[in-house]
Amino acid sequence: MLARHQEPIVAIATAPGRGAVGIVRVSGRKLSSLIEALCGRSLKPREATYLPFADADGSPIDHGLALSFVAPHSFTGEDVLELQAHGGPVVLQLLVARCLQAAAEMDTATGQPRLAGLRVAQPGEFSERAFLNDKIDLAQAEAIADLIDASTEAAARSASRSLAGDFSKEIHGLRDALIHLRMLVEATLDFPEEEIDFLQKADAQGQLNRLQTAVMTVLGKARQGALLREGIKVVIAGQPNAGKSSLLNALAGAELAIVTPIAGTTRDVVQQTIQIEGVPLHVIDTAGLREGEGVDEVEQIGIARAWGQIENADAVLFLHDLTRVGQADYDSADAEISTRLHSRLPASVAVIDVWNKADAAPVSLERTGLNLSARTGEGLQALRQQLLQQAGWQQASEGLFIARERHVQALHRVREHLEVADAHLAAQAQNLDLLAEELRLGQNALNEITGEFSADDLLGVIFSSFCIGK
C-alpha cells in the first residue's frame, strides 16, 4: 500500500452544481477530534444527528445531518464522517475548507493536530480505499462508476448486480475450480515417484473440460455486459441527399439534424445516443461523401471528418437513395464509396446496405440489404433488430451483469491458456510442468478482474476515471 493511502482525505461526494442536499465526506483514522471541532460534540456511530456545522469562530456555516461510521464498518473500511448540508457549491466548498482548517488545528488534549495530513481526495480515492481495505473487489469498484454512468435502465440494473457481487462470484467460482486443478497437477509434479496417477484418478481431464465450458459461459455474459456498458458506434454514410440526417432523426425520434434538399447541408458530425432493448447505440450522421466540382473547402473538411468517423465505427450504415438508383453517375459514385469502405475497414466492421426512400421509389427492387423509409418509418424496426444482431446482442436476462472490455480480454486470455493446457494434459507426463504454468497464467488473468493480482498502474487507470467524491 502506498504512503498516500495512509493519509486522511476529504471531498465533496455529490455532483457539481446546486441541489437540495450536498455531502462532504472525510475518511481516515481516528476522526473523533475532527468531529468535535466541526460538530461541537461527539457522534453516535451510524446515527444521523441534526446540528450546526461550526466555523473556526464558532458561527455556523450551515445546519444539516452528520453521520459517523467507525472502522471497519464503513464504505472505505476506515473511520468516515459525512456532513449532509444544503447543496450549494459555495456552502460545500466552505465545509471542505473548514475540514482542512480544523484538521490542522492543535487538539488541546493531545497537543497534536486534530487530523494530521488531511488533504483533498483524488478522483476515485474513496472507492480505491474500499478496494484496498477489502470492502469490495476491483470488479465491484468499477461497477460503482458504471452504475453512475449508466445510460440505460438495463445498464443500471446490470451494474447494480455487479456491485452486489454477482460478476465477482462467477469469477471466484472459476478461480476456485482452476486452483483445485492446479493443486492436482502440482501434486503430480512434486511426487513423481508415486505410482498413483493423481490426474487420472481425480478426473483432471473432466475438470479441465468443465472449466473450459464454464469460462465460455461467463465470457458470453461478459460480452453482453460490456455491450450494455459501452454500446456500439454506428456511422451513417453515403452520398449527399441520400437521407442520412433524416434517418438519424427517425432513429432518435427528434429533429436533431437539419434536413434540406440542398446537397452538402450536413457539414459536420452530428451524434445522438439512443437505446434499443437497453443497448446504447451511438448513432453518427456524417457529411455526404462526394468529390469533384461544387465541393468547397468547408465541405471537404466535413467529408474528411466523415471518413475519420467511419474508420472508427463498430458498424456502418451505407445509405442508398432508391429514387436515384439506375442513374449512371449516382451508381458509379456509390460503387466508388463501396470500394473505399471495404478497403479501409477491417473485416470485423459490418457495412450494412440500407436502401432509403422506399415510399418514393417508382419500383420496389430486390437488393441485398434493408429497404426503408426514413420519412414514414417503414423498415426502421427491422434496421434496429439487425443492428442488435450485428453487435452480438442477445435478449437480456435478469442475471446479466455489467462488464468492461478489460474483463472480456482477461477472460479471452483465460480461455486461451486453458486451450493450451488441454493440449499439454493430453501429452501426460511429458508436459506437466508446461500444463502447470498455463494454469497459473490462467489464474493470474482471472485475478486481474477482481484485483487479487494487479499492477499499481492498472489501479491508477481504473480509479482515475471516477468522480472526486467516489
Measured distance CA(169)–CA(162) in Å, rounded: 9
DSSP code string of 203-267: THHHHHHHHHHHHHHHHHHHHHHHHHHH-EEEEEEESTTSSHHHHHHHHHTS--S---SSTT---
Q: How would you classify residue 190: left for phi > 0, otherwise alpha for psi between -120 and 50, otherwise beta?
A: alpha
Q: Is 374 annotated as contributing to ligand binding?
A: yes
Q: Is 61 annotated as contributing to ligand binding?
A: no
Q: Is 374 exposed, middle or buried (0-12, 13-18, 19+ CB in 10 A)?
A: buried
Phi, psi of 43 (to 5 degrees): -120, 145
Q: Is 116 annotated as contributing to ligand binding?
A: no
Q: Is 213 annotated as contributing to ligand binding?
A: no
Q: Is 290 annotated as contributing to ligand binding?
A: no
Measured distance CA(149)–CA(159) in Å, rounded: 10
Amino acid at site 322 = L
Q: Is 456 annotated as contributing to ligand binding?
A: no
Q: Is 266 annotated as contributing to ligand binding?
A: yes
Q: Is 164 annotated as contributing to ligand binding?
A: no
Dihedral sign of CA atoms 212, 217, 220, 224 in order: negative
Q: Is 263 annotated as contributing to ligand binding?
A: yes
Q: Is 261 annotated as contributing to ligand binding?
A: yes
Q: Is 151 annotated as contributing to ligand binding?
A: no
Q: Is 324 annotated as contributing to ligand binding?
A: no
Q: Is 158 annotated as contributing to ligand binding?
A: no
Q: Is 221 annotated as contributing to ligand binding?
A: no
Q: How would you classify residue 271: left for phi > 0, otherwise alpha for psi between -120 and 50, otherwise beta?
A: beta
Q: Is 204 annotated as contributing to ligand binding?
A: no
Q: Is 375 annotated as contributing to ligand binding?
A: yes
Q: Is 188 annotated as contributing to ligand binding?
A: no
Give the count of beta carbons closer than 10 Å to the beta carbon of residue 450.
24
Q: Is 265 annotated as contributing to ligand binding?
A: yes
State the cell numbers at 49.
444527528
CB 323 within 8 A of CB 358: no
DSSP H or E stretch at residue 305: helix 297-311
Q: Is 285 annotated as contributing to ligand binding?
A: yes
Longest dimension (CA), the chain: 92
State the cell numbers at 33.
477530534
CB 65 within 8 A of CB 49: yes
Interior angle at CA 220, CA 309 and CA 413, nearest 5: 85
Q: Is 161 annotated as contributing to ligand binding?
A: no
Amino acid at site 291 = E
Measured distance CA(152)–CA(116) in Å, rounded: 43
State the cell numbers at 13.
461526494
Residue 269 C-beta-side C-alpha neighbours within 13 Å: 15
Q: Is 79 exposed, middle or buried (0-12, 13-18, 19+ CB in 10 A)?
A: buried
Q: Is 264 annotated as contributing to ligand binding?
A: yes
Q: Is 321 annotated as contributing to ligand binding?
A: no
State the cell numbers at 263.
446537397
Measured distance CA(281)–CA(202) in Å, rounded: 48
Annotated binding site for (6S)-5-formyl-5,6,7,8-tetrahydrofolate: 25, 82, 135, 470
Annotated binding site for GTP: 241-246, 260-266, 285-288, 356-359, 373-375
Annotated binding site for K(+): 241, 260, 262, 265
Annotated binding site for Mg(2+): 245, 266
Annotated binding site: 25, 82, 135, 241-246, 260-266, 285-288, 356-359, 373-375, 470
